[in-house]
Amino acid sequence: MSERPGIVLCAPAAIRHAPLPDTTASARILPGCAEDIQAGANTIIVPARLVPAAAPDPAGQSSLQPAFLLWPSRQGSWLPYTLMSYSGDDLLYIRLPGPPVHGTPGNPDHRVRWAADLSARHRAHGGQLNNHACWLRNLLPGLEAEHKFTLPADTDIWDLAVTTHQHVRDGAIGGWICEHGNDGGFTQGDYTSHLFAITRPASERGYIAFMPAINGPGYLIRRKRYARDQVLRREDLTPAPELTAAPADLPQAIRDRYGLTPAWGATYRRVRYNVMLESLRTGHVFSIMYDRCTAENAADLIQAEVEYLRSRTLRASSQRQILRQLTELRDWTRDLLARTGITHTEDQMSKLTWLRRERRPPMA
């Protein structure tokens, strides 16, 4: 890797949305960027204090903004990145698809050529890049990938979550940060779930759960299909604001909606704390979550779960890459539990298995 510094390529912000005639561009040396940037990283975060302020455009189009980042690569080339997020404190750039660019930042013709090339690459993904709600996408649609640890009943999940979050903030996992722009990478949940076991036909084995909407009508329906507790399971999440059935009527809703008859059902409450992690190398976002599930006439279930959630990237990925990173975080979590003296069982126990072992209420 070259010792050359990164370059911020400034261009009119409008070039991210439409081609501009007679585009001008400026290049600024980036003094001291983020640490631990891996070769070919998907994501680079730059402190706003290091980025040049907007400058007037000599052509009079508009001010020039830090729209692109060029990171030194081999043989004098540059890896191109585009601005996705600006928080006021920092700027988040992600890798643009396509080959490296060549040239020297001191050459005006090279800068204009770069701006035209990179803005065209940006616009090719404008639907994702130019819309905040579309930045993140699920690269395992219809699948859930998670690893579960079952913990002792007296585990303080708040303390464990705060400890985990602090480790991530302090850079304890190389190449990982708290998820950018998501409440500092710490979220929480507290909700009820009405779960119904599906045992037949075999292809539909699993469960269908209804979580009452907190701030609106209806339910969120979570449907999981799997033959046994395992890392990968089929999962569908469906908002159903139109569903107003009382909990006692949900078995009939399953018959009407899915043509299935539940074998039994149970209701439980889940309190959880999520530490959200983002990989700078790949752009994949995972959570390390700690939850306590309680149900009437059942022993509490305390678990740590490492789960893939979404990705902030334009580049192609593979299930294998995601599962490798899941394994990396699983191993780190296992080590953390050992260091803190918390015993655990890696049993992949699902909520369905927990409830089935604890109780088998009759179903009308």
Cα separations (Å) of 203 from 16, 229, 259, 360? 47, 15, 13, 22
pLDDT at residue number 30: 81
pLDDT at 62: 66
Q: HSE of 189 in the Cβ direction (CA atoms, 13 Å)?
A: 16
Q: What is the CATH number of domain 143-358?
A: 2.40.320.10
Query: Average pLDDT for residues 167-173, to the nearest whole number?
Result: 96
For residue 129, name the pLDDT band (cuts at 50, 70, 90). Answer: very high
CB 223 within 8 Å of CB 208: yes
Rounded Cα distance between 109 and 192, Å, is 61
The predicted pLDDT at position 150 comes to 98
- Percent of the chain, pLDDT > 70? 93
Tokens of 232: 């990968």
Domain(s) labelled CATH 2.40.320.10 in the chain stretch across 143-358
Q: What mean pLDDT do residues 17-26 have?
A: 87
DSSP bridge pairs for 232? 145
Mean pLDDT across 262-284: 97
**12-16, 274-278, 324-328: the lowest-pLDDT one:** 12-16
Inform me whether the pLDDT recorded for 1 exceeds 50. Answer: no
Q: Is 115:25 a contact under the CB 8 Å cutoff?
A: yes
pTM of the model: 0.92
Q: Is pLDDT of 222 > 50?
A: yes
**pLDDT-above-90 percentage for the chain:** 79
Q: What per-residue confidence (pLDDT) applies to 23?
A: 79
Position 34 scores a pLDDT of 44
Question: Could you give the CA distance from residue 16 to residue 71 in angstroms, rounded to a whole number?
Answer: 19
Least confident of 44-58, 125-139, 184-198, 227-241: 44-58
Q: What is the DSSP letter of 183?
A: G
The pLDDT of residue 323 is 97
Q: Which helix (H) or strand (E) holds 269?
A: strand 264-279
